[in-house]
Chains A and B, each alone.
Chain A
């Protein structure tokens, strides 16, 4: 799914965010990336989405070397990745339903598919009764569930979540993690960036730990399929 080969990232201004990072995430895995603030976690997410390009090394996503993907190709890579962020990133002027449908409109899904898929997603995240609400009328946990539903709308092969529980209390955080786990059980690869040690300990998944741009530990278990 995702492979980093000796990846270094230097931001303009000389800020070295990642230093010679190597890891590989296989199809169907559930992986946490943890580390102190500024250790380079979000930088990894941005590299996978090709919002930025590495100074050195190779990033492969779903079999594509991102260096060889031009700006026309980027949207098609991103369509296969669902993203969730700490700040939810919902459209404030549109209803819950519209926010989810929006993700499908962007990829030119048919109106018929949208009408079937959106209620399906709403019921999955337990918000069927809130479809006409605006984001501001929802709690943080509910907003994040809308964001997750949107991320799943186009049946991505992978979910990237950057501190999805950063703004949520423990109960809501756990609920989001359970949803992510369910999504993962249905075959979607999940990559979660988090600060929250409690969650990491409870979930018992693979954990990649970063410190100041260096990968200091990765409890990658053997026995995963070699499928890529």
Chain B
């Protein structure tokens, strides 16, 4: 397509939006509604992923050793664990550290009881590694691996916490994605309806263009542009709206939540919208184009 034909398409597409104000408004409206809901689900999805990721990084698997395991063996096992690609981080905690931590947590108000232990460390067999994983998905594998290392006495893996987090993650992902797919189909349908109307309004014009000898893509061009512009505007509006609402929500909620658990905090608007904005715009323009293409192809046969 030449530049001339392209600029003609853009000009005519914009003109036709102006000429069919009501239809254009109606389709922008439906796009806004669809993409707004889609944006809400996407924002929830993005935030939830983030929460699950932060939760994952706070969950650790503890590996305890037999008393007769030598420090050299423990160090070697530590290196082996670190070398696995599923493992994010390994920290060593000696039995003494463990006891100090335990004592300060549970006996801080009861010096006498603490004294009765004397120098003896009741957690004497509790040299341990705290292992964090990159992804919860590998947790079962790694637990099995750790259990089979000689010298390891006990592996404490918070299986149930992880499993429920994962299940929740899966449920939210699947339901958001199915809702998003439904909304996409609805928007394509609505846009293509609008283009059908736009085409029937301009049936005469199209017939005249054919008579004069306009090529097919010259006739289609303006409709495609029209669909894309409607899609673009239909994506910009809900994005602006979502951004505003998100900031308000952030102010209302984050102060309260941050005191409960930092990993539950909502992500910053920048981090959410760097994903949301391109996705919404691409979807808007894509839906507009797809809707037009499908309809134009079906209704503009020679």
Please measure, in the bound complex, the distance between the C-alpha atom of A110 and the C-alpha atom of B8, giving whole angstroms. 12
A170, CB-defined interface residue at 8 Å: no
**What chain A residues lie within 8 Å of B214 (beta carbons)?**
75, 106-107
B211, CB-defined interface residue at 8 Å: yes
A79, CB-defined interface residue at 8 Å: yes
Whether B302 and A107, one on each chain, are in contact in the complex, defined by CB atoms closer than 8 angstroms, is no
Q: Interface segment, B95-103, B135-143, B202-210?
A: B202-210
Binary contact readout A90-116 vs B (1 if CB under 8 angstroms, 0 otherwise): 010100000000110111101000000
Those of B87-131 within 8 Å (CB) of chain A: none
Please measure, in the bound complex, the distance between the C-alpha atom of A75 and the C-alpha atom of B217, giving whole angstroms. 11
B247, CB-defined interface residue at 8 Å: no
**What chain B residues lie within 8 Å of A16 (beta carbons)?**
none
A117, CB-defined interface residue at 8 Å: no
Please measure, in the bound complex, the distance between the C-alpha atom of A223 and the C-alpha atom of B229, giving whole angstroms. 60
Classify chain A: how many residues form its interface, as a range.
Answer: 20 to 34
**What chain B residues lie within 8 Å of A106 (beta carbons)?**
209, 212-214, 218
Binary contact readout B179-221 vs A (1 if CB under 8 angstroms, 0 otherwise): 0000000000000000000000000110111111111101000
**What chain B residues lie within 8 Å of A72 (beta carbons)?**
215-216
Whether A89 and B204, one on each chain, are in contact in the complex, defined by CB atoms closer than 8 angstroms, is yes
**What chain A residues lie within 8 Å of B5 (beta carbons)?**
108
A78, CB-defined interface residue at 8 Å: yes
With A71-B302, A74-B302, A93-B19 already in contact, the answer to whether A103 and B212 are too (CB < 8 A) is: yes
**What chain A residues lie within 8 Å of B211 (beta carbons)?**
49, 78, 83, 89
**What chain B residues lie within 8 Å of A110 (beta carbons)?**
4
B2, CB-defined interface residue at 8 Å: yes
Q: Which of B205, B207, B208, B213 contacts A79 (CB 8 A)?
A: B213
Whether B4 and A75, one on each chain, are in contact in the complex, defined by CB atoms closer than 8 angstroms, is no
**What chain A residues lie within 8 Å of B216 (beta carbons)?**
71-72, 75
**What chain B residues lie within 8 Å of A150 (beta carbons)?**
212
Binary contact readout B20-41 vs A (1 if CB under 8 angstroms, 0 otherwise): 0000000000000000000000
With A71-B302, A74-B302, A93-B19 already in contact, the answer to whether A107 and B208 are too (CB < 8 A) is: no
B93 to chain A, nearest CB (A): 76
Binary contact readout A53-87 vs B (1 if CB under 8 angstroms, 0 otherwise): 00000000000000000011011111111010000
Please measure, in the bound complex, the distance between the C-alpha atom of A80 and the C-alpha atom of B210, giving whole angstroms. 13
Please measure, in the bound complex, the distance between the C-alpha atom of A108 and the C-alpha atom of B4, giving whole angstroms. 7
Whether A91 and B205, one on each chain, are in contact in the complex, defined by CB atoms closer than 8 angstroms, is yes
**What chain B residues lie within 8 Å of A102 (beta carbons)?**
208, 212
B43 to chain A, nearest CB (A): 43
**What chain A residues lie within 8 Å of B19 (beta carbons)?**
93
Whether A75 and B213, one on each chain, are in contact in the complex, defined by CB atoms closer than 8 angstroms, is yes
Please measure, in the bound complex, the distance between the C-alpha atom of A79 and the C-alpha atom of B205, giving whole angstroms. 16
A73 to chain B, nearest CB (A): 10
Please measure, in the bound complex, the distance between the C-alpha atom of A108 and the C-alpha atom of B2, giving whole angstroms. 9
A189 to chain B, nearest CB (A): 17
Interface centre among A76, A78, A80 (most CB of B within 10 A): A78
A46 to chain B, nearest CB (A): 11
B186 to chain A, nearest CB (A): 32
Please measure, in the bound complex, the distance between the C-alpha atom of A77 and the C-alpha atom of B214, giving whole angstroms. 11
Interface centre among A102, A103, A106, A108 (most CB of B within 10 A): A106
Whether B208 and A91, one on each chain, are in contact in the complex, defined by CB atoms closer than 8 angstroms, is yes
Question: In the complex, given contacts A72-B216, A83-B212, what are 15 additional A-B residue pairs having Cβ atoms less than 8 angstroms apart?
Answer: A71-B302, A75-B210, A76-B213, A81-B213, A89-B204, A89-B208, A89-B211, A93-B19, A102-B208, A106-B212, A106-B218, A108-B2, A108-B4, A108-B218, A154-B213
Q: Which 4 A-B pairs have the closest CB atoms?
A: A79-B213, A78-B213, A106-B214, A75-B213
Residues in chain A within 8 A of chain B (CB atoms): 49, 71-72, 74-81, 83, 89, 91, 93, 102-103, 105-108, 110, 150, 154
> Can you offer 28 A-B residue contacts whose CB atoms are under 8 A?
A49-B211, A71-B216, A71-B302, A72-B215, A74-B302, A75-B215, A78-B210, A78-B211, A78-B212, A81-B213, A83-B212, A89-B204, A89-B207, A89-B211, A91-B204, A93-B19, A102-B208, A102-B212, A105-B8, A106-B209, A106-B212, A106-B213, A107-B214, A108-B2, A108-B8, A150-B212, A154-B212, A154-B213
